[in-house]
A and B are shown apart, each in its own frame.
Chain A
C-alpha cells in the first residue's frame, strides 16, 4: 500500500520570499511518480510539477522546483519569489503501479502576506 503525508497545518510566507512545502511518501514499488497540485479557493486543481522515481534530476517548472530526496522518501515543493496569487491549498500526490490512480496527501494551506 502507498501513503502520502503532508503534516504542515498551514504555512505563511512573505511576498517575494521562498517557501518549502513538505511531502513524504511511502511505497514499496520502485516505479512511482509524484505530483504537486495547487487548488485556489475557486476549486480548480492546477497541475504544478511532476517527478518520476527514476528521474536523475530534480524537476523544475518556472518558480516551482521539487526537492526530491529518494532515500528519505521526500518530495518537497519549493516556490521561489512568492506572489499573492500563490495563496491556495497545495496537494502532493503519489502514483504507483501500472495505472494512473493518484493517492493524495491531505494538503497544506499556504497564505502569502503582502
Chain B
C-alpha cells in the first residue's frame, strides 16, 4: 500500500482566515514533504521532515507553518495568506530521507485564497 491521504481536497479561504492542511501516511515512512504547485508548473519543495524533525525549509514565508505531530501525520498551518498563495499543495512521504528513496505523493489540496 503506497497511499498518502490529504484533507481537505479543496479549500477556499480569505486573507484573514486561519486554516490547516492535513497529510497522513501509514507506510512507516520516516520522511514527509510539503510541495506547492502552480498550474502547469513543476512542484516546488517547501518543507522536509525527517524522523519528525524539520530538516529542510526552502525559505518559505512564515504565514506557512508546518507541524509533524507524529511519524504518520503532517500538517501545514495557514495564516494571513495572499491570493498568490493559491495553488495545489502536495504532500509526499518516503521510507527515509536519503537519495534514491522514492517519494509517494498524496492527491493534493487545491487552495484558493480570496
Interface on A for B, CB 8 Å cutoff? 31-33, 35, 37, 42-47, 50, 52, 89, 91, 95-102, 104-107
Interchain CA distance A112-B88 in the complex, whole Å: 25
| A interface secondary structure, majority | strand
Cβ–Cβ contact A105 & B100, under 8 A: no
Interchain CA distance A105-B41 in the complex, whole Å: 9
Q: Which B25-46 residues sit within 8 Å CB-CB of chain A?
A: 31, 40-43, 45
With contacts A43-B107, A44-B108 known, is A101 near B42, CB below 8 A?
Answer: no
Residues of A contacting B71 with CB < 8 Å? none
Q: Which B78-114 residues sit within 8 Å CB-CB of chain A?
A: 88, 90, 92, 94, 96-108, 110
Interface on B for A, CB 8 Å cutoff? 2, 31, 40-43, 45, 48, 55-56, 88, 90, 92, 94, 96-108, 110
Sample 28 A-B pairs with CB under 8 A, ordered by A number: A31-B99, A35-B102, A44-B105, A44-B106, A44-B107, A44-B108, A45-B43, A47-B103, A47-B104, A47-B105, A50-B102, A52-B100, A91-B42, A97-B99, A98-B98, A98-B99, A99-B48, A99-B55, A99-B97, A100-B97, A100-B98, A100-B100, A100-B103, A102-B103, A104-B42, A104-B43, A106-B42, A107-B42
Closest to A105 in B: B42
Cβ–Cβ contact B100 & A50, under 8 A: yes
> How many contacting A-B pairs (Cβ < 8 A)?
69
Question: Shortest distance in angstroms between A29's beta carbon and chain B's nearest beta carbon?
Answer: 9
Interchain CA distance A50-B100 in the complex, whole Å: 8
Cβ–Cβ contact B99 & A45, under 8 A: no
